[in-house]
Chain A
Amino acid sequence: MLRIEDISYRAGRIKILDALSCDILPGELTVLLGANGAGKSTLLRLISGERSPHAGKIWWGDRQLHSFAPAELARWRAVLTQHTVVSLPFTVEEIVLMGRYPHYRNSSSEKDRAIVAFCLEEMKVRHLAARYFYTLSGGEQQRVHMARVLAQLRGREMDEDRMPGNSPGLLLLDEPTSSLDWQHQQLCLQKARELAISGYTVVVVLHDLNLAAQFADRILLLKNGRLLTAGEPGSVLIPEFIQAAYGINVTVFYPEGSPFPVVIPTTIKNEIYANN
């Protein structure tokens, strides 16, 4: 289990996270929601070990996060960040193979190459394997990075070498669907779910409340660097909390036959114009 204890983080004098505590369970897909500047991406960066909190502790099982060496952490934890530019002309396949770098020293093994092929296939970018990355569209680039991140963690499901806290690994995705079309948004989050089902700990920052409702096991709703509420989608996605977090009035439906709620803003077009 990933335990976050009273963590605070400042950028200059501005408090980004303010004594936030929560638990994140393995085998679950946890979604971070909140308005811009609520601290979602910062929380993800702290969990990834890239930055250290100014106060508070992050525990992975019985070990503190900062006690892991970067190379050790990289075998267990993969991160998809926003705005990744690749400035040198690497091919798609070379980039996905970089996801395997933490797992070998000098040359890639049969297993590494098999995982790369599998991840190219599962993110539907295998036909682009020999293309230069910079020639791809934004959505294709995002899928290639997702394939790289999956390649970093794939093949650990049966591995004896588990992270403290008994999870095969930790997957962190920061707005993985921002440039994707509707069908690939579904694909991307289905893959994240697949990993959660096979025991991985998965944390995803999302903006789309309905994608969160569809895929999350648990939602952490952030506001001004604090945890507003946490729980199953049905208990978090209610008009009161959404109004408090985003300042928008919504209606939450449970359409017949749908296993998850659907959130619709109640502000209609004319009102938006009137308010402006």
Chain B
Amino acid sequence: MVISPGQVIAVLLNKIGIHLPVAYTEGMEGVLLQIRLPRVILAVLVGAGLAVAGASLQGLFRNPMADPVLIGISSGASLAAVATIVCLGGIASHYLLNTASFLGACLSAIILFRMGRSGGHTIVAMLLLAGLAVNALCNAMTGLITYSANNEQLRSVTFWLMGSLGGASWKLVLSLLPFIITPVLLLPLSAKALNAWSLGEQEAIHLGIDVRMLKARIMVLTTLAVGASVAVAGIIGFVGLIVPHIIRTLSGSDHRRLLPDSALFGAILLVLADLVSRTLLAPAELPIGIITAMLGTPLFIYLLYRYKKNYVKD
């Protein structure tokens, strides 16, 4: 269905009591308000959540390559979801899937945190390596489950794994909202502490930061955002990695700007990516994970190249 920009504005304004002299059908209103609008808002939420989680994790690991997908939080969530799809088949509702993948993300995060701890201190390198291990294990187990799945299960698992915003509804948006809003609002409160943390654990302590509290807060809030995002849209890679990179080159590393800017830009990027995924092969739909990877990877390589050039020149 083709709805012109004028008609879109008219439908939206009509909802808040302003009537424009633009003609549109009831069908248009239905499609816009019940299918397209929730989908756009879902993209905004997932994009903002993934990007702010990526930026925070990079700060926590003091490594610009850390990413929810890389350290295994996303794959923990997805393993739980895939297991649910295969075990329960058609009766696995969206809510059940949400809960399962959120629990999977939590489990991954807890294992990571435990493995990274030694004598009351968290060793960042250990945490990162533990992340690689968790990631590998989750992917292997997901592969095993996929291998044992029948044709029909395989189709839904594969499609779910590639990520999609196709199932958007207001119900889904509402169920996701608190899991994204909380981290997006609360993570920037740790921005100053994350800056100090980038100097090192000792230095952060010397600057008066409660480092145990900081680590726990970042882990819990990012798990919340990532787990919920994976539950509704599957693994969408590169948003958490690429967005903070772009923002850093534009406005620097200060987390006080980086975190809110990443959330905003992540939202924009995912809305655009979803637009491409819906329209490129219309009426067929390309999985959004493929779009973000196609958009993200060249940009990532370019950023690496620029970083290298700057570093060598100075």
Chain A residues close to B by CB (< 8 Å) = 48, 50, 70-75, 77-79, 81, 84-91, 94-95, 98-99, 101-102, 131-132, 134-135, 152
Residue pair A152, B202 in contact (C-beta under 8 Å): no
Chain B positions 154-177 with a Cβ under 8 Å from a chain A Cβ: none
The 26 sampled A-B contact pairs (Cβ below 8 Å) are A50-B205, A70-B209, A72-B208, A73-B208, A74-B207, A79-B203, A81-B202, A81-B203, A81-B206, A84-B203, A85-B200, A86-B199, A87-B62, A87-B63, A87-B64, A88-B58, A88-B198, A89-B253, A90-B198, A90-B252, A91-B252, A101-B196, A101-B208, A132-B310, A135-B311, A135-B314
CB-contact partner of A102 in B198, B199, B207, B210, under 8 A: B207
Residue pair A98, B62 in contact (C-beta under 8 Å): no
Residue pair B207, A88 in contact (C-beta under 8 Å): no
Residue pair A50, B202 in contact (C-beta under 8 Å): yes
Chain B positions 180-221 with a Cβ under 8 Å from a chain A Cβ: 192, 195-196, 198-200, 202-203, 205-210
Chain A residues near B209: list those with CB within 8 A.
Answer: 70
Residue pair B311, A86 in contact (C-beta under 8 Å): no
Complex alpha-carbon distance, A269 and B192, angstroms: 53
A-B contact number at CB 8 A: 76
Residue pair A48, B198 in contact (C-beta under 8 Å): no
CB of B59 within 8 Å of the partner chain = yes
Complex alpha-carbon distance, A21 and B195, angstroms: 36
CB of B254 within 8 Å of the partner chain = yes
Residue pair A94, B206 in contact (C-beta under 8 Å): no
| A147 CB to nearest B CB, Å | 13
Residue pair A77, B196 in contact (C-beta under 8 Å): no
Chain A residues near B64: list those with CB within 8 A.
Answer: 87-88
Contact (A94, B199) CB under 8 Å given A74-B206, A78-B206:
no
CB of B248 within 8 Å of the partner chain = yes
Residue from the set A71, A89, A131, A152 with the largest chain B CB neighbour count within 10 Å: A89
Chain A residues near B199: list those with CB within 8 A.
Answer: 84, 86, 95, 98
Beta-carbon nearest neighbor of A48 in chain B = B206
Chain B residues near A70: list those with CB within 8 A.
Answer: 205, 208-210
Chain B residues near A87: list those with CB within 8 A.
Answer: 62-64, 198
Residue from the set A84, A99, A101, A134 with the largest chain B CB neighbour count within 10 Å: A101
Residue pair A77, B311 in contact (C-beta under 8 Å): no
Complex alpha-carbon distance, A7 and B59, angstroms: 36
Complex alpha-carbon distance, A70 and B314, angstroms: 37
Beta-carbon nearest neighbor of B254 in chain A = A94
Residue pair B207, A98 in contact (C-beta under 8 Å): yes
Chain A residues near B252: list those with CB within 8 A.
Answer: 89-91, 94
Residue pair A94, B195 in contact (C-beta under 8 Å): yes
Chain A residues near B207: list those with CB within 8 A.
Answer: 74, 98-99, 101-102, 152
Residue from the set A87, A90, A101 with the largest chain B CB neighbour count within 10 Å: A87
Besides the known contacts A70-B210, A90-B252, A102-B208, 18 further A-B residue pairs in the complex with CB atoms under 8 A apart:
A50-B206, A70-B208, A71-B210, A72-B208, A79-B202, A79-B206, A81-B206, A87-B62, A87-B64, A87-B198, A90-B254, A94-B252, A94-B253, A95-B199, A101-B196, A101-B207, A135-B311, A152-B207
